[in-house]
Chain A
Amino acid sequence: MDSKDNELNDSRRDFLRKGLVATAAVATGLGLMETACKETKPKTGETVKLLSPDGKIVEVDSSMINPAIPDSLLSKHNVREGVPGKKFVMVIDLSRCKNAGKCKSACSKMHYLPQERSYIKINKMQDSDKASPYWMPTPCFHCDNPPCVKVCPVGATFKLTDGIVGIDNERCIGCRFCMVACPYSARVFNWDTEYQLNITQMNEIKPHAACSTHVTGTVEKCDFCPTNTAKDELPDCVQACPNGVFYFGDEVEDVVSNGDETVRLSQLLKDKSGYRYLEDLGTKPRVYYLPPVNRQFPFKDVEEKDAEGQSSHDSGH
């Protein structure tokens, strides 16, 4: 009788012990999940006037607004499908670039990027000590032998039939191998859950079919503006440049245009000795450069400012 009582006590104790451990585990798990999913934004103190659904004007703190890109402005094109029958190519005339920066602003606006971020960069280059420095805009080169596509473990980046190297932000796992594989530093990473623009920046952007969704923790880059090219329009950087630096067109048709001039691609490259940057790496870029000779503008150095408007050192050597 006694031993049976003891056995029952033991099994009860056992059950209570196990129950306590299980409850603690579940509670911890739930608590962790809550903290992980909670998004807390500090109040900015700025208020924005909005129209409520029943016609009243309300003021809310601007931190309450989630400036996600409106669905109506996003293009729904399939990133894995190219424009049939075309092979896009770009030619950048380095003799005309004076670092006006309009290509960068246009790219930022097109892709709903923060102002200081754009997929196209303008670099100060100097080929040797005796040569003079020049400005070199670098979009993604959409290489025909792309090192980034080779190394992607999940096929999140791929080469399309129209020459474009695309990114599928729903597939990307954020390993950043493509970023280290690219020798041209063309790719950028979405580091931040706060990557969205603030409400003021959103208001400044003209609505048109925006190409990029921004997914935190994935890679992004220049995509040659597929919503433009599908409509036979030039990418925004090409349209925005005031000095006609960018030519964009179709290798199949052998024609490129900078908005004003339309020329034969092969003739342009032959006449002005077009070359590709770091040709000997064998990546076969689809962006050609025309050398900086007979410059339109003398080179004027700008004191380099970083994103916060502070001047920064030229390079990190």
Chain B
Amino acid sequence: MEPVKIKLDKSNQLLTDLMPKRFNASGKLWVGFLLVICVIGFYAYIRQLQKGLVVTDMRDFTSWGIYISNFVFFVAISLVGSLVSAILKLTNVKWRTPLVRISEIIAVAAILFAAIIIIVDMGRPERFWHLFAYGRIQSPILWDVIVITTYLVVSCLLLYIPLLPDIAICRDLTPASSKFKKWFYTFLAMNWKGTAQQYTVVHKCINVLAVLVVPLALGIHTVTSWLFATTYRAGWDSSNFGPYFVAGAFQAGCGGVLAVTYVLRNHYSLKKYITEKHFDNMAKLLVLLSLIYLYFNINEYLVPGYKMKTVDGEHLKSLFSGHYAPLFWSVQIFGMILPIIILLFKKGRAPLPVFIVSIMVVIGAWFKRFLIVVPTLLHPFIPIQNVPKSWHTYMPTWEEWAITSASLAGALLVITIFVRLFPIISIWEMTEEQTAPPQTNEQTNLYEAQA
């Protein structure tokens, strides 16, 4: 493998554009805002530890609430890492390069906070170690623990290994006077010298991990769906759940990476590297993923809707025309159907409309997971009776909202800090592309077209 030669001086435009910059006023405001949310959520969690889960609105019937739907949401978003790093790589999509690291840090942050929010949901979190000491392999929760841990490790590797050459650049550009910074980058760079052999190792690792992460990604969300599908409940007892959840995850993750990319592109002036064509292409991908998700939604609702079995029917009625109808139809329209329509038009695939649509997709995805978890629990086989009136509905308390918001803020904070510390677009991969011999025929490289 040819080592990539990167000039470490001011003449290198890539370095000026892509090296991490200090936070400006709005950056500091953003970090402060996220920290405030995290602190409030942390205080709410202390209350939950003191008083028990009674501080939530979960009770015997709605025994799972927004902590679990938030968990499913995080697992869904984290699939984007495998989508961009692996699937777009294995299908030889050349324009993916500037988006890879953004997707991977979103994936790592999301799956990390999925694990955290699950511990928050436990009635006895200090007994977490029981999962390892007394774990039963017959339980879908154990399958989830195994695949999620494996995916976290593989995603961290997919983030870190391609980051090594860039950490070395940071190390080399940090003056000796900034002692901590120098130590930090030197420690993480793991003695990277940029030799041909080292580049070969990196490329081989990325190739292997890219292949490995795809079945893992399918695995985490399928196994998560089985937390619901292995029960008898109306709305959950469906053999369609695995592919339904995976399709939804790719769609939500694609929306997520588009939203984050737009913000980073504007804030750090990356328009030269993340072009309008990137948004155009990713928007087309989002349309495809939304259409696939629409297909699975139709399967999931039309089939039991045709039969209207007793409890199934009650559950579907509450979604289509009952208590949850406004939320259900908003989610389907704003989270799935409108995005498809808007993004089918060329004007709709410009960066700003794509950003707005991607926000709609992500918010729709969060509430969709809520609609998957809670309405089913309100329709058990034996009708709910002889319990306090409040047990017939579920409205999360301020503690639940605070803790859930803190988990979302925490994930965004991880991404923000990463962007502050490391180049969010891979400098060495961009250099490699720009110095590569010209391709024949097709414009697989968007930068050659622009040059």
Contacts and interface: CB of A to CB of B under 8 A. Distances in A.
A6 interface: no
Nearest to B381: A183
A58 interface: no
A106 interface: no
Nearest to A183: B232
A315 B53 contact: no
A138 B123 contact: no
B135 interface: yes
A219 B127 CA distance: 14
Interface in B228-262: 228, 230-233
A304 B50 CA distance: 33
Nearest to A188: B60
Interface string B34-51: 000000000000100111
Contact of B385 (A36, A155, A314): A314
A317 B51 CA distance: 31
B140 A151 contact: yes
A214 to B, nearest CB: 11
A172 B123 contact: yes
Interface in B351-384: 377-384
B202 interface: no
A152 B136 contact: yes
Interface in B197-246: 227-228, 230-233
Contacts of A32: 46
A278 B381 contact: yes
A312 B389 CA distance: 5
Contacts of B186: none
Interface stretch (A69-77, A119-127, A245-253, A284-292): A119-127
A315 B46 contact: no
Overall SS of chain A's interface: loop
User: What is the predominant secondary structure among interface residues of chain B facing chain A?
Assistant: loop
A315 B311 CA distance: 13
Contact of B232 (A35, A174, A192, A281): A281
Nearest to B60: A188
A124 to B, nearest CB: 6
B167 interface: no
Contacts of B230: 150-151, 181
B381 A185 contact: yes
Contacts of B392: 312-313, 315-316
Nearest to B318: A317
Interface in B50-66: 50-54, 58-61, 63-64
A313 B58 CA distance: 19
For B58, B139, B388, the residue with the greatest tally of chain A CB atoms inside 10 Å of its CB is B139
Contacts of B317: 317
Contact of A177 (B49, B135, B139): B139
B147 to A, nearest CB: 14
A171 B123 CA distance: 12
B385 A172 contact: no
B309 to A, nearest CB: 12
Nearest to A168: B134
Q: Which of the four size classes fits the interface of chain A?
A: 35 or more
B388 A306 contact: yes
Given A192-B54, A217-B124, A281-B232, A173 B131 contact: yes
A89 interface: no
B314 interface: yes
Contact of A176 (B123, B381, B388): B123
A153 B136 CA distance: 5
B177 to A, nearest CB: 11
B429 interface: no
Contacts of B50: 35-36, 38-39, 193
A172 B127 CA distance: 8
B52 to A, nearest CB: 5
Nearest to A191: B54
B385 A124 contact: yes
B64 A176 contact: yes
B395 interface: no
B421 to A, nearest CB: 19
B142 to A, nearest CB: 5
A218 to B, nearest CB: 6
Interface in B115-174: 121-125, 127-128, 130-131, 134-136, 138-142, 145
B373 to A, nearest CB: 9
Nearest to B315: A317
A307 interface: yes
Nearest to B134: A154
Given A174-B123, A180-B64, 9 more contacts: A36-B49, A38-B50, A173-B122, A179-B60, A185-B60, A189-B59, A304-B386, A317-B318, A317-B379
A-B pairs with the 9 shortest C-beta distances? A174-B123, A217-B123, A316-B392, A315-B383, A153-B141, A191-B54, A153-B139, A306-B388, A192-B54
